[in-house]
Amino acid sequence: MRLTARGQDLTAPIEVRRDPNAGGSDDEIRQQMELATAIQADLNDAVDAINNIETVRAQLASLKEVLKADTTAGDVRATADSLDRKLVAAEERLLQVRVTGRGQDLLRWPMRISEQLVYLAQSVGGSDRAPTGPQREVHQLLREQLRSTRGQLDQLLQRDVASFNEMLRKKKLDNIIAAR
């Protein structure tokens, strides 16, 4: 440890220890941290997918705005709308988009993968004990759902966005939708 105060530098070794009042053993806490880290990685993956969807949707919205007065671009706008609906459907599997932050929204609308991961992370981190069997099972189930959803989204982005970009190229439009 290093402390600087009133122009003086003081250093001393420190040892970080587990809270002696914690109920779990070092191994239990290690297991808890391993699962919490895995859940966080999955949540980051879900958020990356949501951000990617929103990036593409924003580009579609901008393109539709640019083309709204162009009477020859009706097919581009219709294809953009179709692609946007597919992206919303993918996003709705990852995130409950109807939650407004008011009232009882979380009771009205079911949590999706990202919200369920957050809830699970809070549950796992709520004690100094090893994760329970059901917590591990729920994590595995959510991980499988996330992988399936990500696979479907990746196919959508590769297939449909690529097709849309080709349509834009043929019409000699500069606004190419880029998916990460």
The CATH number that applies at residue 97 is: 1.20.1260
Rounded distance between C-alpha atoms, residue 172 and residue 90, angstroms: 29
Domain hosting 46: range is 26-170
Q: Give pLDDT, residue 175.
A: 67
175 assigned to some structural domain: no
Taking a C-beta distance cutoff of 8 angstroms, is the pair 40, 124 a contact? no
110 assigned to some structural domain: yes
The one-letter amino acid at 33: M
124 assigned to some structural domain: yes
Rounded distance between C-alpha atoms, residue 55 and residue 63, angstroms: 12
5 assigned to some structural domain: no
Compute how many other C-beta atoms are within 10 angstroms of the C-beta atom of residue 146. 21
Could you tell me how many residues make up the chain?
180
Give the angle subtended at the CA of 38 by the CAs of 40 and 26, to the nearest 5°. Answer: 110
177 assigned to some structural domain: no
125 assigned to some structural domain: yes
**What string of pLDDT tens digits covers the 180 residues of the chain?**
999 999 999 999 998 887 788 788 889 999 999 999 999 999 999 999 999 999 999 999 999 999 999 998 999 999 999 999 999 999 999 999 888 777 777 778 889 999 999 999 999 999 889 999 999 999 999 999 999 999 999 999 999 999 999 999 998 887 677 666
1 assigned to some structural domain: no
Q: Give pLDDT, residue 99.
A: 83
Residues 6+ apart with CB under 8 A from 67: 73, 76, 77, 173
98 assigned to some structural domain: yes
Number of domains in the chain: 1
